[in-house]
Structure 1
């Protein structure tokens, strides 16, 4: 894959400062001393007017903008469809360049447009990859919605665990083993307090709760333990029909609704990507399930655009950075300047992989922590190295189109590889 040319060819340069209602546009035409400045409202007619104006110049056009929420997406799509080259400008780079050029920290739209034009001219920008044009818009929306629903479910779950259960049934928390399962919340909806359980005989309770808890090993013993726990509970003695218990049930219904939404999104994602070759390749890597694969494809897009795995590591924020000045040299650590959701997904996938019975990830992790298995700092560094390895494997599998080979790595020649070298590798 050839490296994209970021320095624009001779032609028209367009800087767009994007906002919710209108965009400040600065146009530089070769041969003209004065730049043209205009305001473009976020309407179809105004977008058409801008595209017609640029097309009438009959020269190559390169447009650049700073991502602003999602307000840049519609106009960027229209510019791409018009055949113009579109560049994305880093927000951090724009702020630093503006400070250097104008020797000040003030910010306004006309000045930002001037700085953007300068950054486009010198090639200090990135090629803009539109999700709709790349065919990953649906994947991105599924991934983002799943993330939002999961975060909302976690927030409501924490409210239940830290507020309602300590008040009304604190002992029942020990029977909750998996936050993905709905049976625990279905049980709480039916039996929210110890009084709602002990009002029945043990046999009657087991019969009433038998279908609520679903399929379980030693179900009768489980329900018997819950009944005995309810008899000795320290929960507040509120009646089952109290308004406080109604509020408890309301929150339980909320978390159950979020669980159903999450399961529906996961099923939709698996159906949408079931025919994707990249999705199938990712699913064969240890630790990568349907949602991890969905997130990787949504956040990274086509991984083949990264000609080397170091570029992908930098995109994820897994590249190493060192603060150095004069004789001072700081500690080498991850830059974390990349995609945070992608980095977190690779971290979680690595943690799942090292818990599986036998694969290269677990073998690498065991070799790293062999000298001191209980050293928390060493385990953290080993997990970082595993995350970087996961990123390299993901990039290699997609780029080559070859299946993951579940071999166990042999010992490193000459001894153990330092962690910094392993992450950089």
Structure 2
């Protein structure tokens, strides 16, 4: 303690009140420090009474303290909301940053709620921490919608796999209905006729009428008749491994219903995403980039947030997690890799956008695609994933510049600049 105090005097810094919290599920361990002196400590619950008691303690102090805590996902969200609602100055540390700070100056592995809270407060005057700046609420809403959309996509992927497994024993030919993508037409038919015997017991006209009546989307009579004819042909050639009343047949109906519901939810959330994103000026800038559609732009804004809070594009790269990790010791030089310490969901969205640009390169000229093929055709051609990550880096740099300068994408300008 004396070492810290002497160091503080040498630095000439004034003492300040610090509240450090070690957060766990439903509660936090709180310490209040004045410089290196602990004034109080104890546990607070994450409910109205716990936060009210904490607020009363803060108001009783001679000056407003600074609050420090580590981000722990959903468990730290109530504390962050408490700070925002009461206009309190707070420092939100990411887990890696907190770990490095807590291990600073010690070789001993010792972790307890009390120890971490005390350590966070004690080292605050001696480390460089950035005060948390709250983004406009619309970015938080977009992030939540983006995460919700991606969760639904994940559920669709898993449910489609389960449906595939069940169909393989009850009516495998039905998978031809959604060989490229899952459609409401196909899922409606699969739910109605999960087994070939059920099809062969029904006339073509009845199948057509059932499809028109039960499908979630409007379908013409001719289209419904074509689908009815097709499913009868599939039923005639099918050789199922189970009976119509088997459990796998029931599973086919269940997963088809689940997929129909998930597709409707995905459509609803995507519409909310786009409507919300259109309120931001950068949405028009993002969509001016060939290969970035409305849903991709909305997802990317949701994951990156307000780009104006970053002082340069390298910080955006670090936030996403595609900055380079380099290791060299003596004569050994390790291969460069990306850090992958940032936002994995944002990284995934960015990766899919670049891949989409490459697939749709004939639609419009795009210097990101030009750069990709330049890397692939060099004397030492880059591997696909390496070239794609390099394009992600270049794309982030480009959209950061577009937002900072409030300019839409122009291929001729970027090409001439690259040359």
What TM-score do you get using the length of structure 2 for normalisation? Answer: 0.84
Q: Which residue of 2 aligns with 1:45?
A: 49
Q: How far 1:392 moved relative to its partner?
A: 1.8
Does 2:397 align with 1:385?
A: no
The answer to whether the 8 Å contact 1:11/1:60 transfers is no
2:145 to 142, 145, 150: 142
1:95 to 79, 99, 110: 99
Deviations 1:97-141, CA, capped at 9 Å, x for gaps = 43444432232111111221244323343432446x644332222
The answer to whether the 8 Å contact 2:171/2:240 transfers is yes
Distance 1:112 1:203, change over 3 A: same
Q: How far 1:342 moved relative to its partner?
A: 0.6
Q: What pairs with 1:365-384 in structure 2 (closer than 5 Å)?
A: 365-370=372-377, 378-384=383-389
**Larger displacement relative to structure 2 (342-351 or 168-177):** 168-177
The answer to whether the 8 Å contact 1:77/1:130 transfers is no
Deviations 1:348-386, CA, capped at 9 Å, x for gaps = 11111112213222222222223699x8x6222221122
Distance 1:411 1:127, change over 3 A: closer
Deviations 1:325-347, CA, capped at 9 Å, x for gaps = 22211001211111111111100
Q: Which residue of 2 aligns with 1:82?
A: 86
What TM-score do you get using the length of structure 1 for normalisation? Answer: 0.83
2:305 to 275, 288, 301: 301
The answer to whether the 8 Å contact 2:58/2:64 transfers is no
Q: How far 1:85 moved relative to its partner?
A: 1.8
Q: How far 1:44 moved relative to its partner?
A: 2.3
**DSSP-derived class of the 1:127 partner:** coil
> What is the RMSD computed on CA atoms of the aligned residues?
3.1
Q: How far 1:9 moved relative to its partner?
A: 7.4
2:286 to 259, 282, 288: 282
**DSSP-derived class of the 2:74 partner:** coil
Deviations 1:385-406, CA, capped at 9 Å, x for gaps = 2222222222222222211224
- C-alpha distance in 1 between matches for 2:205 and 2:370: 50
Q: Which residue of 2 aligns with 1:231?
A: 236
Deviations 1:127-183, CA, capped at 9 Å, x for gaps = 32446x64433222222222222211211111011x112111223323314435322
Does 2:324 align with 1:333?
A: no
- C-alpha distance in 2 between matches for 1:366 and 1:248: 44
- C-alpha distance in 2 between matches for 1:144 and 1:412: 35
The structure that is helix-richer by fraction is: 2
- C-alpha distance in 2 between matches for 1:342 and 1:40: 34
Q: Which residue of 1 aligns with 2:184?
A: 182
Q: Which residue of 2 aligns with 1:16?
A: 21
Does 2:202 align with 1:195?
A: no
Distance 1:223 1:119, change over 3 A: farther
Q: Which residue of 1 aligns with 2:6?
A: none
Q: How far 1:64 moved relative to its partner?
A: 0.8
The answer to whether the 8 Å contact 2:169/2:242 transfers is no
Deviations 1:178-226, CA, capped at 9 Å, x for gaps = 435322211211222222333456687667657869769x957776555
Q: How far 1:244 moved relative to its partner?
A: 4.2
Q: How far 1:20 moved relative to its partner?
A: 2.5
The answer to whether the 8 Å contact 2:31/2:38 transfers is no
Unpaired segments ≥5 residues, structure 2: 1-12
Q: Which residue of 1 aligns with 2:155?
A: 152
Distance 1:167 1:214, change over 3 A: farther
- C-alpha distance in 2 between matches for 1:206 and 1:42: 57
**Larger displacement relative to structure 2 (331-340 or 143-152):** 143-152
The answer to whether the 8 Å contact 1:322/1:332 transfers is yes
Q: Which residue of 2 aligns with 1:416?
A: none
Q: Which residue of 2 aligns with 1:166?
A: 168
- C-alpha distance in 2 between matches for 1:304 and 1:53: 35
**DSSP-derived class of the 2:183 partner:** coil
Distance 1:326 1:404, change over 3 A: same
The answer to whether the 8 Å contact 1:87/1:120 transfers is no
Deviations 1:37-69, CA, capped at 9 Å, x for gaps = 232222323323323323333335321101123
Distance 1:47 1:235, change over 3 A: same
Distance 1:34 1:61, change over 3 A: closer
- C-alpha distance in 2 between matches for 1:72 and 1:225: 54
- C-alpha distance in 1 between matches for 2:253 and 2:37: 70
- C-alpha distance in 2 between matches for 1:119 and 1:345: 37
